Amino acid sequence: MSSQGDHKPGSVGKGAAVGEHEKPELVMADGLLVPPITLRQWEEIKNFQARPDDTFIASYPKSGLVWTTQVMEMIQLQGDVEAYKANKKLVPFLEFSIPNVEISMPAVKMINNLPSPRVINIHSPISHISKSILEKKCKVICVLRNPKDVVVSYYHFHTFSNIAPNPGTWSEFLQNFMIGKVAFSSWFDHVKGWWSLRKQPNIFFLFYEAMKKDLGYEAGRLASFLGRDLSPEAMKNLVEQLSFNSMKTNMDEKIPNFKTVAGFSFKQFIRKGQVGDWKNHFTVAQNEVMDQLIADQLKGTSLDFCYEL
Ligand code: A3P
C-alpha cells in the first residue's frame, strides 16, 4: 500500500494542458457529468435509434472496454490473426463523437450510417442511454472492474488524455471519484444500474479480473453468448494476440493513426493492465474509506469484486 498521500506519477498541475491542448472542464448533460465533446451531441446520443441486431459494449471508463472490443473482433474473425491485423477499424464510441473524424470516434451520424450488424461502445449508465437499446432487446456486454483499480486507471488516463479534465492530485481525484464528480459520474450508480438487468438474457457480464485470470475461458463464454464457436486453435490465437504485452506492443501498429485522432498512443493507454495496482496508490486511510464506501454502496446487490489475483 502506498505510504504517500499524494502520489503523482506524471500528474498534471491545475490549469495545465497536455501538449499544446487545453484540458476541458466537465459539463452536465441531464445530470450526468460528461466531457464537452459528449454534450455537443447529447440530443443525438439521447435520441439514438438502436437496431435489434446491434451489440453494445457497456462499461464505466477504464474497466477494460477496449480489450473487450478486441476479444469481440477476434471472435468474429474466428481467431484469424492476419484478418485481425488487417482490420484498421476500432469500435465506435457513441458518446465520443468527433464529427469528420473517420477512425476511432465517429459522430452519431456516422454510426447511424454503419451497416448492420453494428458493435457500439457506450459509457453512459442505464439512466442515460437511449431507450431503444433496451426496448429492442439488443445484446449488451457489460464490462465491470473493481473500483479501486478503475479509479487508479482513470487517474492516469486523465494525465495524458486531452478529452479528460485536469485530474488534480491523486487524493483530489480519488475524492472526486468517490462522490461521482468525474466524467460519467458515479461508478456505483453505473454498475448497480447495469447489474440490476442481469437476469435479462440479452445482457451479459464480463469482469476484468476474470479476463486477467483466464482470458480463454471468458472469451469462450462471450463467444457462446454471441452464438459463435471457436476452435482450440482460434482460441489460442485470441489469447496470444490479446495478452497485455501483445496488445501494448501491437495496437499502435494495428491502428496507425490512433494517436493523431485520440492525442495519445495505445502504448500510453494500455498502461499497466494489472489487478491490484491500487495498492501502489491508496494509503491505508484512503483504503479504509473506500472499503466502507464499497460496502455501503454495494450492500444487497450481490455484486462482488476481486481486488487481487
Ligand atoms: P490500466 O490503466 O490499469 O493499465 P478501458 O479500455 O475501459 O478504458 O480500460 C483501460 C484499461 O484496460 C487500462 O488499465 C488498460 O491497460 C487495460 N487493458 C487494455 N488492454 C488490456 C489487456 N490486453 N490486458 C489487460 N489489461 C488491458
Mutating to test ligand 1, I would choose from 95, 122, 153 the residue with most ligand atoms within 8 A of its C-beta, which is: 153
80-97 pLDDT, tens digit each? 999 999 999 899 999 986
Whole-angstrom distance, CA of residue 143 vs CA of residue 61 = 10
Which of 7, 21, 123, 190 is the catalytic position?
Answer: 123
- The CB of 222 under 6 Å from ligand 1? The reply is no
62 lines ligand 1 (CB under 6 A): yes
Per-residue confidence (pLDDT) for residue 174, from 0 to 100: 98
Q: Is the CB of 271 under 6 A from ligand 1?
A: yes
- pLDDT, position 24: 85
In this prediction, residue 6 carries a pLDDT of 57
The answer to whether the CB of 273 is under 6 A from ligand 1 is yes
Rounded to 5°, the CA angle 249-254-258 comes to 95
Pocket probe for ligand 1: among 270, 282, 308, the residue whose CB has the most ligand atoms within 8 Å is 270
Q: What are phi and psi of 83, to 5 degrees?
A: -65, -35
Cβ atoms 278, 2 nearer than 8 A? no
In DSSP terms, which residues pair with 119 in a beta bridge?
Answer: 55
* pLDDT of 59 over the 90 cut: yes
pLDDT in tens, 97-150: 665 555 545 578 889 999 999 999 999 999 999 999 999 999 999 999 999 999
Q: Is the pLDDT of residue 184 over 90?
A: yes
Q: What is the spatial distance between Cα 79 and Cα 88, in angstroms, rounded to a whole number?
A: 16
Q: What is the pLDDT of residue 162?
A: 83
- Catalytic residue check, 123: yes
161 within ligand 1 shell (Cβ under 6 A): no
Predicted confidence at residue 55, as pLDDT, reads 98
Per-residue pLDDT tens digits for 163-175: 899 999 999 999 9
Structure confidence by residue, pLDDT tens digits, 261-296:
888 999 999 999 999 999 999 999 999 999 999 999
Tell me what pLDDT residue 21 has: 56
Closest C-alpha residue for ligand 1 atom 5: 62
Q: Check residue 37 and give its pLDDT.
A: 85
Range 44-73 average pLDDT: 97
**Does ligand 1 come within 6 angstroms of the Cβ of 164?**
no
How many angstroms is it from 1 CA to the middle of ligand 1? Answer: 21
Average pLDDT of the chain, as a whole number: 91
Q: To the nearest whole percent, how much of the chain has pLDDT over 70?
A: 90
Q: How confident is the model at residue 16 (pLDDT cuts 50, 70, 90)?
A: very low
Report which of 93, 95, 75, 94 is spatially closest to residue 84, judged by C-alpha positions: 75
State the distance from the centre of ligand 1 to the C-alpha of 247, rounded, in angstroms: 10
Average pLDDT over every residue of 230-255 = 97
The residues with which 56 forms a beta bridge, in sequence order, are 120, 140
